[in-house]
């Protein structure tokens, strides 16, 4: 399959997400209970799709078995239903799609886009030229043949020395030089697991996703995913990265923060209200004590993504 040129992909990216039928998704990892940060991704992606009569799919990203908490996925699904979220189609589980990921990996291998790498983390740190946005930049050690000492092999995607530019619908223009800022990145890990960057792109392609709404902590991952779309000659989706919520302790809200910002059936309406406010949607005061279904209904009818602030900020649950 031919690879689209940089100029061709720039045109495709510019027009991405403008299809008549919007298709969005929510893709949580079952590593713990639902919390406010994850709820923002669910709420933003749901409203972005449903406000324009689009489809909204649900995917469980259980790609890394050691990190999966037993029962977390089922508990999250039950809670989403109790909060009034309705998704289209069947739920997709990444753990059921390894054969598909392998097919795409073989396609990339046939195209000459990937190579095996035996470098250990210690070897990469010792030879990396400088720190990148997500750790040290891979220096291309095994690009022309195995040079590391391990018998285990990772599979890396060969990246160009060029700047990937894309327009995020909330945070605006984003730029990243893949070779300088990241280096050739892993698609299949040395421990035998498929990497997130490969799985998320393949899943979104197969589901026909036209808009990706997720947290701003993934802004720097997006250029890698856009380049992978280019290698597969596929138009990338439109990207909406939501601001991150920080707790009173100054840390990003996540499952690691204990009970801070956890969502329950009892506090669900209050958390949905806070979510709408955090996303700049300004629900009327008379809806403060409404049911989750009423809040989501108001959100679908009054959602304006241009009101979402392009700034991470603190939220209090006191």
pLDDT one-digit tens code per residue, 1-27? 333 333 433 333 333 334 458 999 999
User: Among the listed ranges 39-43, 142-146, 188-192, which one has the minimum average pLDDT value?
Assistant: 142-146
52 DSSP 8-state letter: T
Q: What is the pLDDT of residues 119-149, one digit of tens each?
A: 887 777 766 555 555 668 898 889 988 876 7
Let me know whether 150 and 18 are in one domain. no
- The residue among 302 and 257 whose pLDDT is bigger is 302
- 198 belongs to a structural domain: no
- From CA 258, how far away is CA 261, in angstroms rounded? 8
Let me know whether 33 and 118 are in one domain. no
- 73 belongs to a structural domain: yes
- In this structure, what CATH number is given to the domain that contains residue 152? 3.90.800.10
Let me know whether 160 and 309 are in one domain. no
Let me know whether 151 and 172 are in one domain. yes
Residue 197 in this model has a pLDDT that exceeds 90: yes
Residue 297 in this model has a pLDDT that exceeds 90: yes
Let me know whether 27 and 90 are in one domain. yes
Residue 96 in this model has a pLDDT that exceeds 90: yes
The mean pLDDT of the chain is 88
- Which pLDDT score, from 0 to 100, does residue 136 have? 81
Residue 318 in this model has a pLDDT that exceeds 80: no
- 197 belongs to a structural domain: no
52 CB contacts (<8 Å, ≥6 apart)?
A: 22
Average pLDDT over every residue of 276-301: 94
Number of domains into which the chain is organized:
2
- The residue among 241 and 120 whose pLDDT is bigger is 241
Domain boundary among 188, 219, 249: 188
Let me know whether 211 and 164 are in one domain. no
Residue 255 in this model has a pLDDT that exceeds 70: no
222 CB contacts (<8 Å, ≥6 apart)?
A: 166, 168, 174, 239, 241
Average pLDDT over every residue of 295-313: 96
Let me know whether 310 and 210 are in one domain. yes
Q: Whole domain around residue 153: which residue ranges?
A: 99-188
- Which pLDDT score, from 0 to 100, does residue 6 have? 38
Let me know whether 265 and 219 are in one domain. yes
- Which pLDDT score, from 0 to 100, does residue 253 have? 73
- In this structure, what CATH number is given to the domain that contains residue 306? 3.40.50.620
Terminal alpha carbon distance of the chain:
55
Domain boundary among 155, 188, 221: 188
- 194 belongs to a structural domain: no
- 228 belongs to a structural domain: yes
Q: What is the pLDDT of residues 166-189, one digit of tens each?
A: 999 999 999 999 999 999 999 999
User: Among the listed ranges 125-129, 160-164, 282-286, 292-296, which one has the minimum average pLDDT value?
Assistant: 125-129
Pull the structure tokens for residue 124: 């990469």
Residue 157 in this model has a pLDDT that exceeds 90: yes
* Whether the Cβ atoms of residue 49 and residue 24 lie closer than 8 Å to each other: yes
- Which pLDDT score, from 0 to 100, does residue 247 have? 79
Let me know whether 210 and 310 are in one domain. yes
- 196 belongs to a structural domain: no
Let me know whether 21 and 146 are in one domain. no
- 303 belongs to a structural domain: yes
22 CB contacts (<8 Å, ≥6 apart)?
A: 48, 49, 52, 53, 54, 55, 210, 211
Let me know whether 161 and 280 are in one domain. no
- 275 belongs to a structural domain: yes
Percent of the chain scoring above 70 in pLDDT:
87
Pick left, alpha or beta for residue 21 (phi over 0 → left; psi -120 to 50 → alpha; otherwise beta).
beta
Let me know whether 181 and 148 are in one domain. yes
Domain boundary among 154, 188, 222: 188
317 DSSP 8-state letter: -
- Which pLDDT score, from 0 to 100, does residue 120 have? 82
């Amino acid at each position: 399959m031919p690879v689209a040129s940089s100029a061709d992909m720039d045109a495709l990216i510019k027009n991405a997400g403008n299809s008549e039928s919007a298709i969005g998704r929510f893709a949580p990892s079952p590593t713990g209970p639902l919390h406010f940060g994850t709820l923002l991704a669910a709420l933003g992606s749901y409203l972005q799709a449903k406000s324009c009569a689009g489809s909204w799919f649900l995917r469980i990203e259980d790609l890394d078995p050691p990190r999966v908490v037993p029962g977390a996925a089922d508990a999250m699904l039950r809670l989403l239903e109790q909060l009034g979220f309705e998704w289209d189609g069947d739920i997709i589980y990444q753990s059921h799609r390894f054969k598909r990921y392998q097919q795409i990996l073989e396609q990339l291998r046939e195209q000459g886009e990937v190579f095996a790498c035996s470098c250990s983390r210690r070897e990469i740190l010792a030879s990396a030229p400088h720190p990148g946005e997500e750790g040290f930049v891979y220096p291309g050690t095994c690009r022309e043949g195995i040079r590391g000492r391990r018998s285990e092999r990772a599979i890396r995607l060969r990246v160009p020395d060029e700047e990937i530019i894309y327009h995020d619908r909330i945070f605006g223009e984003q730029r990243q030089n893949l070779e300088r800022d990241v280096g050739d990145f892993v698609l299949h890990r040395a421990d035998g697991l498929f990497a997130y960057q490969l799985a998320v792109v393949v899943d979104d392609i197969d589901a026909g996703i036209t808009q990706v709404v997720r947290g701003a902590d993934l802004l720097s991952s997006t250029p890698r995913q856009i380049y992978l779309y280019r290698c597969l000659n596929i138009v990338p989706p439109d990207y909406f990265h939501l601001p991150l919520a920080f707790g009173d302790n100054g840390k990003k809200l996540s499952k690691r923060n204990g009970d801070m910002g956890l969502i329950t059936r009892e506090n669900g309406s209050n958390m949905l209200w806070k979510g709408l406010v955090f996303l700049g949607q300004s629900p009327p005061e008379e809806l403060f004590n409404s049911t989750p279904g009423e809040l989501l209904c108001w959100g679908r009818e009054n959602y304006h993504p241009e009101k979402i602030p392009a700034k991470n900020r603190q939220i209090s649950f006191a």
